[in-house]
Every structure is written in C-alpha cells, then in structure tokens.
Chain A
Amino acid sequence: MLFNNKLKCFLGLSALLSIAACSSMDADSSKDGNWPADFKTSEYSRINPDIANAQRKDSLAAAKKTAGCTVSTTDTSEDVRTFFSGDSNDVKTLYLDYAGLSVWPGYEQFHSGALYADFRVMVISNYHICKNTAAQDVAYLNGLPIDSALIARQYMLAGRIEGRAYRYCLSGETNVLQDTLQGELSSSGHVFSYLAHTYCLSAGNNQKYLIE
C-alpha cells in the first residue's frame, strides 16, 4: 500500500510506452546490483506479459461482467467473427503483447475463421470484451493502470531466481539454452536458483539463452 501510493502511475495512450515513462522508480534507467545494468522494465514486461496481465485481471473481469457475455472456443458468433476479422494489427497486438503467444500465425488464419476452435482463440478471448472490436480491446487494455515498479520488483524477488529472460537476445547470444541447465528443484527439494546467470529471449524461436 505504502509504495503503491507513492509509486503507482497510470497509463495514458500506451501501456508499454507508459511503463517506460511513468514509474517514479524510473524502471528503465540503469539499476543497482539487484537488476542487470541494462534492465528495462518495458522490455521485461513485454517478454513476460503475465506479470502486467495479473494487474489487469480484476479490471478486465469487471469489464467482461458488465458486458454480459463471454467468448468460448466453440463460439462462432457474429461477435467473434467481427472481432477476428477486424483490424489485424490490433488482433496481433492482443495475440503477442497481451496473450503472450509467441508465433503469429498470420492474418489469414484469423480472417478465415480457421482458428475459431483453437486454444489460441481461448487465450486471446481472455483479453476480449464482447462486442468490442480488437482496436477497442487494445485501447481498453492500454488504458488500464499498471504499476511498473511492481514489475521490476517481481524480477528482483522471483523472476531472476526463476530464470526469466529480461530482454531479447542480441546477435551472438543464442549459444547456451537455458533448458540445458539444472531443473527447478534438485532431488533434495531445495530450489535451484538461476540467480548466478541472466537470460535473454530469442525473438526467433522463443527460447531462453544464457547471457552471462
């Protein structure tokens, strides 16, 4: 509560841009030893959208309840068709930036309705308020308040220990896959910590690699 009042800022037009601009913690500046020197909260949040989505959850649930309808995997209603045949860039934004799905299947997959019964539709539907267009959904989601300092704290307290990637990989960094390292728990039940290293995400194959 204390730091929420102190640090929370509210997004305006763009959630991701605002993450970089609003936080009183100035999350995109260089960090002390608890964060890598090149840590940027906006990039970490983009790679790990579940963290910001957790903050949007309550507001989104209330908006969906107010709208009074839902989208399911078997739903081929006019609402769904309108939604997926709308502005493809906004559907893509929901797909990649909010739902956190990694490989964009292409506009035609949505326009044709080929994915209506796909699990990915269900995932995206978590971020769709019925009767909205995709553009309206994106605008709504972008307008929800996000505490960017909280996202940075998540990295400090858990993300780096869990081995989350904090930025995209640069050229020449995709050599050692994180999956080749030890698993989360050793046989003793103790936690395996990824704290000794940092990790990047390959935009090409969505795999995590060792930075250092």
Chain B
Amino acid sequence: MNLKILSIALLSFGLAFAQGGAVIGYYPYWAQYSQFTPKNVHFERVSELHYASLTPSADGSIALADETDAANFDSLVTASAAHYVPLVVVIGGPDAGDAFAAIAADESLRSAFVKNVSDWVDSRGLSGVELDWQNPAADNATGYQALVRALKSGLNGKTLGAAVYPASVEVYGDALNEADYVIVFVGDHMTTDSSTVRPNMSLDDVKSAMDIFASKGIAKSKLIPVIALSGKSFSGATGFGSAHQGPGSGNDGYIPYKDLMAKFDTPDYKVTFDETSSSELAVGNGEAIVFSGIPSVRAISVWIRDNGFGGVALYDVSEDHPEAIISLLVTAGQVLRPDVDYAPQKKK
C-alpha cells in the first residue's frame, strides 16, 4: 500500500469510527466574522470536521454559501489533510428546502446534483458530504429517500451523512440506513416561546431525540446528536421555572460558550448545576443563562457511549473554549476518544 492510498484509508470515516465514538466538530462559514479561522482549529479534538456549507440551487448546481469564506475553506482542506482529520462538507441549510424539493422530485436533476456534488468533493479531496435538508415535509418523503440513495450510490464510497430532525421522522423512511451516519438535531428546547425557563438541551432531551430515530430501526451506531455550544439568555428570569421577558444579553440572547467566561469572572452571576436535568444555569444581571457545560456534555457523552450510539457532534468549533481544560470538545473526547492525548491526566 503506497503512502497516498494509506492516507486515504486513514481519512476514511469508517476507520475513524471503528476506533471509538465520533466527536464531530462543525465549522460554519460565519466563523470568519468572529475572526475564527482554520488556524484556530484544534484538530486533535475532533474525529471529523464538517464545514457548513454548500447551497444547492433548484437546477442541481451547488456553490459555497458564502464565497467570501472560500480562502478559509481552502485552508481548512489543507489543514485537515495535514492533521489526518476527515473533512466533510454540509450541503443545505435553513433556506435550501425548496431547491432540495425540486432536485429530489426529478430524476435527471437528482443525477445532475449528485454528479455536481461528487465532482466537487473529489476535486477537493474531501471525505464526504452531509445532506442537511431541514424539516422536509410529508410530501417530500419519496424524493428525500430517492435523493439519499442517489447520493449513496454516486459518491463512489465517500462518506454520506444525513442531518435529521425529529419532527420529520416519518419522512426519512429506511433510507437513513443507507447513510453512513445520521446526525440528529436535538434542537432548542428553551426558546422565547417557552413561558418559563427550562434547560435548553438536557440529557433527557437528547435521549428523547435519539430514541425517536432508534425506534424507527435506524442503527444506533449511526446516530449522533448535535450539542449546541451556545448559551441562551433570558431577561428577567431568576432560575428554572421562572418567567422571562425575552432574550437577554448576547446576540439575540445567544452567547458562545467561550464568551460566557467573561461574564462568569464577575461576581454578577451565580453559576449552578441542576442535578435533576444534568444542565447548567447562571443567574445574575437581571437574566438567566441556560447552557451546556462540562458536566452536562460529559453526561451526554457517557450516555451515548454506554448505549451504543455513534458519538456526538458539537456546533460549532468556533464557540468552544480554546483551552483544553475547559473545552467541551475535549470533555466529549475524553469520554468517546479516550486514547487521544488532550492533556496530561491527574496522577495519584
């Protein structure tokens, strides 16, 4: 086996998974706007990177969602290969539903789309694609399943991932078992529509979402939940069960995990951990912040590992803390990829 073939083998998804649970990190194009670039990625913390995203058009063509990020994407391709981390590109997003519906419903468009995707991935040496058709409707079921099967057969052995949403579970059918893995968007459970504050993404929320797909016969080893790395703030709230008056501080109430530290260094916030829901809460400055921290991410990772699921995906790598000591990617990795040297372990 020559070096090139060996490299391809090492980059294959199947091998990465065979060695333990996956820790997938998303790299979105908008990371550029917070001055996060590929040089900031800690490649040892992920088993696979997923770049978001490519946008499909109704004629089957594809393009980067944001061309201003093209140079960063090229750098990410190079750096990922240098670190032997498989790089997968996400195709789709919240505005791609109509294009997917048109492509999936027409065999010739499906073929054109699959060829475009395959050529794009091959020309850049990527490991595969993740189909992110968000919340397809019931009348998309036939087309969705045909599209998954067409991608699987047209990617020449490259990895195919499918991002799925619990509300659309009846749409996917058994086509999901064609995919190499299925990424389950657990979704925000604490929103401005919630009358009182509750955890945004508790262990129970993850369990429920995973069980929805496992009960449909999708292999558990393929199922991977997405854990958000943003906290969410709610003005006027004083804790779990209290009322709120909408988003608090941050970008429309969203605060990256790494930025929470600046808040918590002040004496203004009281940070606690709720044992019942295995979730974190900070209260202060006239608001409550719900977030996923080290204990809750560890709890989810342990449950994933102990119940035979495929791993976890964290959204996104730019929001994680750069220091390994309090990194959530490292927290998940220490459970799911314990052989990786993230940091020296305590000796007694």
CA distance A123 to B345 in the complex (A): 10
Q: Does B70 contact A (CB under 8 A)?
A: no
List B residues 311-348 near A (Cβ within 8 Å). 322-326, 342-348
Are A100 and B294 also in contact (CB < 8 A) when A153-B265, A185-B302, A190-B299 are?
Answer: no
Residues of chain B at interface, number, CB under 8 A: 39
Residues of chain A at interface, number, CB under 8 A: 42
Contact B262 A54 (CB under 8 A): no
In the complex, number of A-B residue pairs with CB atoms less than 8 Å apart? 107
Q: Which residue of the partner chain, among A3, A161, A190, contacts B265 with CB atoms under 8 Å?
A: A3
Residues of B within 8 A of A63 (CB): none
Contact A32 B267 (CB under 8 A): yes
Q: Does A173 contact B (CB under 8 A)?
A: no
Q: Does B12 contact A (CB under 8 A)?
A: no
Q: Does A62 contact B (CB under 8 A)?
A: no
Q: Does B193 contact A (CB under 8 A)?
A: no
Contact B275 A154 (CB under 8 A): no
Q: Does B203 contact A (CB under 8 A)?
A: yes
In the assembled complex, the CB of A148 is this many whole angstroms from the nearest CB of chain B, namely 12
Q: Does A204 contact B (CB under 8 A)?
A: no
Are A1 and B295 also in contact (CB < 8 A) when A32-B267, A101-B347 are?
Answer: no
Q: Does A129 contact B (CB under 8 A)?
A: no
Contact A150 B294 (CB under 8 A): no
Q: Does B271 contact A (CB under 8 A)?
A: yes
Contact B261 A3 (CB under 8 A): yes
Are A1 and B322 also in contact (CB < 8 A) when A100-B346, A189-B299, A189-B303 are?
Answer: yes
* Segment touching B, from A43-51, A69-77, A104-112: A43-51
In the assembled complex, the CB of A51 is this many whole angstroms from the nearest CB of chain B, namely 6
Q: Which residue of the partner chain, among A57, A189, A192, contacts B203 with CB atoms under 8 Å?
A: A189
> What is the 8 Å Cβ interface bit string for chain B, positions 285-300, against chain A (1 contact, 0 not)?
0000000011110110
Q: Which residue of the partner chain, among A55, A147, A158, contacts B293 with CB atoms under 8 Å?
A: A158
Q: Does A11 contact B (CB under 8 A)?
A: no
Residues of A within 8 A of B123 (CB): none
Q: Does B120 contact A (CB under 8 A)?
A: no
> What is the 8 Å Cβ interface bit string for chain B, positions 261-289, against chain A (1 contact, 0 not)?
11011010111110111100000000000
In the assembled complex, the CB of A149 is this many whole angstroms from the nearest CB of chain B, namely 7
Q: Does B139 contact A (CB under 8 A)?
A: no
Are A54 and B343 also in contact (CB < 8 A) when A189-B302, A190-B299, A193-B295 are?
Answer: yes
In the assembled complex, the CB of A109 is this many whole angstroms from the nearest CB of chain B, namely 17
CA distance A4 to B322 in the complex (A): 10
Q: Does B252 contact A (CB under 8 A)?
A: no
> What is the 8 Å Cβ interface bit string for chain B, positions 32-70, against chain A (1 contact, 0 not)?
000000000000000000000000000000000000000
Residues of B within 8 A of A181 (CB): none
> What is the 8 Å Cβ interface bit string for chain A, positions 1-13, against chain B (1 contact, 0 not)?
1111001000000
CA distance A2 to B326 in the complex (A): 15
CA distance A25 to B298 in the complex (A): 27
Contact A34 B271 (CB under 8 A): yes
Residues of B within 8 A of A59 (CB): none
Q: Which residue of the partner chain, among B270, B275, B299, contacts A33 with CB atoms under 8 Å?
A: B270
Residues of A within 8 A of B323 (CB): 4, 54-55, 147, 150
Residues of A within 8 A of B258 (CB): 1-2
List A residues 180-198 near B (Cβ within 8 Å). 185, 189-193, 195
Q: A1-B258, A4-B323, A189-B303 are in contact. List 19 more A-B contacts (CB 8 A).
A: A3-B265, A32-B270, A34-B270, A48-B346, A50-B347, A51-B325, A53-B343, A54-B324, A54-B325, A54-B344, A100-B347, A153-B265, A154-B326, A158-B294, A161-B294, A189-B203, A189-B302, A190-B299, A191-B275
What are 6 A-B pairs at a CB distance below 8 A? A2-B262, A3-B262, A34-B271, A50-B345, A54-B343, A55-B323
By Cβ-Cβ distance, the 4 closest A-B pairs, closest first, are: A32-B267, A54-B343, A50-B346, A158-B294
- Seen from chain A, the residues whose Cβ lies within 8 Å of a Cβ on chain B are 1-4, 7, 25, 32-34, 48-51, 53-55, 57, 99-102, 123, 126, 147, 149-151, 153-154, 156-158, 161-162, 185, 189-193, 195, 206
